[in-house]
Amino acid sequence: MRLASMTRGGCALALGVCLLVGGIPAGGTAVAQEDDRPPLPYSDDRRPPAPLPVPLDRHFRGELLEFDGKRVRVRWDWSDPTHLEDFDAFVPVRSGLRGGFRIRDGVLVGSGTGGIRLRLGMLSDIEVKTDAKLVDPHDLGIVLCKPDVSDESILCLIQDRFFTRFDAGAGNTNMINKMGGIPSEIAGTTEFRYVNRRPQPKLARGDEIGFEVVRSGAQTSFTILPKTGAPVTLSGKDPDTAMERFTPGLYVSSGAADFGPLEIEGAFDPEWCAGHDVLPHVASDLLHRGNGFKGKVKTAAARVEAYLSQGPDTPEKKIVNSASVAELVGQEDLPLVIRMRAAESLTEKGMADGSVVDRIAELLDAKDRPARLLAWQVLRPQLPWHFNYNPDGTAAERREGAMLVGYYLRERDDALAQSKVFVEGYWYTERRADDVRGVWERAWDIRSPRVRVRTNLPHAWALWYHAALEAGFEEMVRVVGHPPPDESLPLSVLVFRSTEDYETFCTENGHEKRVAWGRFVDLEKNVAFVTFTKKDAPLWSLQQMSKLFLRRATGRYWPTWYDEGRSSWFGNPSYKTATWNGSELEVGRRDECHEFRLLRAAAHGGDADSVSSFLARDPRTLDTKSRRLWYVQAWALHHFLMGEASEDLRGRMARWVQAMEEKELSPREVDAEGRRVFLAMFAGKMEQLETDFLAFLKQL
C-alpha cells in the first residue's frame, strides 16, 4: 500500500588497518512531565516539555511507501529540501573536517567529508538503494552505522586512492569494510578490517552508477551497477562479532558525488523506537492494516476516523459526537497514537466549525492525570512558551490554565491575522508588545527544543536571532558530527538591547568583572550573553553559542586557542567569517578584513608566532596588540587545519581532536595537555606544518 507521508566473494581478510573516525511503549501512556526538568538559566520558567512520541508516518518527510507493523519502505526523491530532516548529519571518517550533504535542484549533493544516517533504528534485515554520478570518487558510498555511534559501522564504498597510504593494494578498489569493534593501540584511531574488496568495476570521475546494499543476519552484500558493463557484487560476513542494529545512510570522505533517489526498506527496531519516542504506528489512517488494531482498540480507532471524516452531508445516525471522542483521550489502555489523534481531532474539528474549540483545553482540568498530560503535550507546541500550566497543580490552578489556553485558541487566528502578539494573557499590537517586552525583566523568550533566545529587542529581531541560531546549530552538528545530549538543551543565548541593559544585568547577577567585555559565556550554566549591535547581528551570538555547543556536545573543556578559533569559524563579524540573510547561513568564510591584513603583514615581517610558540602563549598575559594578533591567529590555525592544509596535516588534526575528546581535563589542565598532545600528534611533521601555515598567513 502506498502512503503519502506528512511530513569477501570471499572470506574476511585478516589485515587490520587503523583509520581515524570520527521510550515509550506502543500502547503506553507515559508522557514526560514538564516540571521534572530543571529551570532555564536566569528564568523561573522550566525547560520546554519533551514532545509527544511521533507516529512513524510523521517521523518521515520522505514518502512512506509500505508499512506492515514490522517493516517499512521509505523513498526520498530529494524534491523537497526538508527530506534531509529525516537524517542525522555525522562525521563518518575524520580524514578531513569539512563537508556534508545538501539538496540542490532535486539532487543530493555530497562533498568533502560528511555523512547522513536515517533517523530510524533498523535490524539486520535492510536493503538500501541509490544511484550516483561520481564527481570525485575518492571514498564514498553507503554506510550502515551502529545507532548513535559513528565509528562502529559497515562501509560499502568505492574509492580511487584513499586507502593507498595504509595498503598499496587497496588503491582503486571497491570494498566492504567492518569498522570499529576491534581494539586499537593507537590513540585517536579506530580499526577496521576488509570484508571484501575487488578492483572491478573500474570507476572514474563522471561515471554514473547504482548502489544496492543488502544486510541479512551477519551477511552483507554490496552490488555496484555501472551504467555500462555488468554489475559486480561483493559479499561477506563480519570478521568479528556481527552487528545487529543499524542506522543506514550515505557518506563521502574527501570525495564528491551527486546522489539520486534513495530507497531504504527493512525491519525497524522496536527498541530504538521506544528509546527515541517513535511510535510504530501510522497516524494518518488509524485503521491501516499495519497498525494491527483489533477488538475494542479497533473500535476506538474507527470512532476517531469516523469523527474526522464526517461533514455536513453525514447522516445524523452516523454522527460521532465530540464528547465520545474526548473520552478516548483519558483511556490509558488504548495505544497512545489513538489517544493523540482523538485529542488532535477535537482541535482540528473545533477550528473548522467553531463549536468545540475549548474541548481539548477543557481536558487540562480533567480528573484523570494522563488525560491532562496528554492534552497539555498536544497543546503545548501551539502555545507561546510563557504559558505555565502545571498538570499537578491545584484544581483552581488547572482551571485557570484551561480557561487561558481556551481563550488563546479561540482568539488566535483572528488576532494573528491582525499581526497581534500574545503577551502575558493579552493580545497586543506588535508595537505595544515590543514596549511591554522592552524591559529586560519581561523580555521575549523564544524557544525550540534546541535553542532559546531571551531578548528585549523588538519581536521581529527576536525571531530573526532565533532563526539564525537554529541554522547555526545545524552547522555545528555537521562539523562536530553529533548534537549535545537532549538533557543539556536548549542552549540559551541572552541578547541585550543596550549596553546599559547588559551592564545592569551583569552587576545584579555577580558578573561585575565582565561588564567591560560586552559578551561572554558561562559554560557551567549553559548560557551565552551578547550585547546587540545592529551591524554585527547575529554573528557574535553564533560565536558564543558555538562555545556552549562544543562543551555540551563533547562533555570536555578545550584549549583556549581551539575554542576561540572554532567559535570564530561559526561567526566573527570582525573577521567576516559568516553571513546570515534571514534564511541562509554561511560559515567558515575567508574574506578580506583589517585583522587579516595585520596578520598577513606580521607574517611577511617575520613577526607572526610559529605554531609551537603560539600554542605556548596565554592571551591573558599579552598586551593589547599582541592579544589581538593571537586571537586572529587562533582563527587562522583552526581554519587552515579545517580544510586548506594538506590531507596528512588535516588527518593529524582530526586525530588530535579525537584524542582530546578522550581526555577528561579541568580548565586549568586543558591548555598545557592540549599543547603536549598536539606536538606529539604532529611529531615529524612540525617543520612542514610551520612552513605551510606561514605560507597560508602570507596570502591571507
Round to whole Å and give the CA distance between 221 and 213. 6
Residue 456, pLDDT score: 97
Nearest to 570 by CA among 543, 540, 549, 547: 543
pLDDT tens readout for residues 596-644: 999 999 999 999 999 999 999 999 999 999 999 999 999 999 999 988 9
- Region 107-120: mean pLDDT is 94
Find out whether 144 and 213 touch, Cβ atoms under 8 Å. Answer: yes
What is the C-alpha to C-alpha distance for residues 251 and 140, in angstroms, rounded to an integer? 6
- Reported as a pLDDT band with limits 50, 70 and 90, residue 96 is low
> Could you read off the pLDDT of 352-404 as tens digits, one per residue?
555 566 778 888 888 888 888 888 877 877 787 667 788 888 899 889 888 88
Q: Which amino acid is at 208?
A: E
Residue 14's pLDDT is 30
User: Beta-carbon neighbour count of residue 553 at 10 Å?
Assistant: 20
Percent helix, strand and coil across the chain, each rounded to 5?
Answer: 40, 25, 35
Backbone angles phi, psi at 19, to 5 degrees: -140, 135
CA dihedral 128, 134, 140, 145 (to 10 degrees): -20
pLDDT at 30 over 50: no
- How many Å separate Cα 252 from the centre of its chain? 18
**Residue 90's closest CA among 126, 119, 62?**
119
pLDDT per residue over 206-253, tens digit each?
Answer: 999 999 999 999 999 999 999 888 999 999 999 888 999 999 999 998
What's the pLDDT at 683?
Answer: 94
List the alpha helices (DSSP H) in 481-590.
499-508, 539-554, 560-570
Residue 390: predicted pLDDT: 81
Least confident segment among 50-59, 347-356, 549-558:
347-356
| The predicted structure's pLDDT at residue 300 | 97
- pLDDT tops 90 at residue 90: no
Stretch 573-588: mean pLDDT: 94
Lowest mean pLDDT among 169-178, 179-188, 252-261, 307-316: 179-188
* pLDDT higher than threshold 60 for residue 317: yes
The three cell numbers of residue 46 are 522550566
Query: Quick one: pLDDT at residue 22?
Result: 31
Instruction: With cut-offs at 50, 70 and 90, classify the pLDDT of residue 32.
Output: very low
- What local confidence, expressed as pLDDT, does residue 163 receive? 63
pLDDT value at residue 326? 87
622 torsion bin: left (phi>0), alpha (psi -120 to 50), beta (else): beta
| pLDDT band of 29, cuts 50, 70, 90 | very low
pLDDT in tens, 426-482: 999 999 999 999 999 999 999 888 999 999 999 999 999 999 999 999 999 888 878
Q: Alpha helix (H) ranges present in 354-480? A: 359-362, 369-379, 395-417, 430-437, 459-480
Query: Domain residues of the chain, as ranges?
Result: 16-22+57-275, 293-417, 426-555, 587-700
- Asked if pLDDT for residue 122 goes beyond 60, the answer is yes
Determine how many CB atoms are found less than 10 A away from the CB of residue 504.
14
CATH class of 16-22+57-275: mainly beta
Q: Where are the beta strands (DSSP E) in 199-314?
A: 208-216, 219-226, 232-237, 245-259, 262-268, 278-279
State the CATH architecture for 426-555.
Answer: 3-Layer(aba) Sandwich (3.40)
Please give the average per-residue pLDDT across 342-347, as a whole number: 87
**Pairing relationship of beta strands 107-118 and 245-259 according to DSSP bridges:** antiparallel
pLDDT attached to residue 85: 92
Taking a C-beta distance cutoff of 8 angstroms, is the pair 649, 638 a contact? Answer: no
Residue 84: CB atoms within 10 Å: 20
The model's pLDDT over 129-166, given as tens digits with 9 standing for 90+, comes to: 999 999 999 899 999 999 988 778 999 999 876 666 66
**Identity at 60, one-letter amino acid code:** F
Give percent of the chain with pLDDT exceeding 90. Answer: 66
Task: Report the distance separating Cα 667 and Cα 665, nearest Å.
Answer: 7
- Residue 184 confidence (pLDDT) above 80: no
| Confidence check: pLDDT of 335 > 80 | yes
Point out the least confidently predicted range of 56-65, 176-185, 402-411.
Answer: 176-185
Contacts of 175 (CB under 8 A, 6+ apart): 155, 156, 157, 158, 159, 163, 194, 195, 196, 197, 198, 234
Q: Tens digit of pLDDT for each residue in 296-305?
A: 999 999 999 9
pLDDT over 90 (residue 327): no
The pairing of strands 122-136 and 139-145 is: unpaired
Question: Residue 447: what pLDDT?
Answer: 86
- Estimate the crossing angle of helix 560-570 against helix 459-480, to 10 degrees: 120
Tell me, what's the pLDDT at 280? Answer: 96
Q: Give which of 235, 215, 153, 160 is closest to 190, Cα–Cα.
A: 153
Contacts of 447 (CB under 8 A, 6+ apart): 48, 385, 453, 490
If you average pLDDT over every residue of the chain, what do you get? Answer: 88
Centre a 10 Å sphere on the Cβ of residue 403 and count the other Cβ atoms it contains.
15
Given a cut of 90, whether residue 78 has pLDDT beyond it is: yes
pLDDT-derived band at 182, boundaries 50, 70, 90: low
Between the alpha carbon of residue 394 and those of residues 399, 400, 613, the distances in Å are 9, 10, 64
Mean pLDDT computed over 334-359: 80
Q: Quick one: cell of 266? A: 527493512
The answer, yes or no, to whether residue 36 has pLDDT greater than 70, is no
* Strand partners for 59: none
Mean pLDDT of 683-698: 96
Res 290 pLDDT > 60: yes
Residue 34 binned pLDDT confidence (cut-offs 50, 70, 90): very low
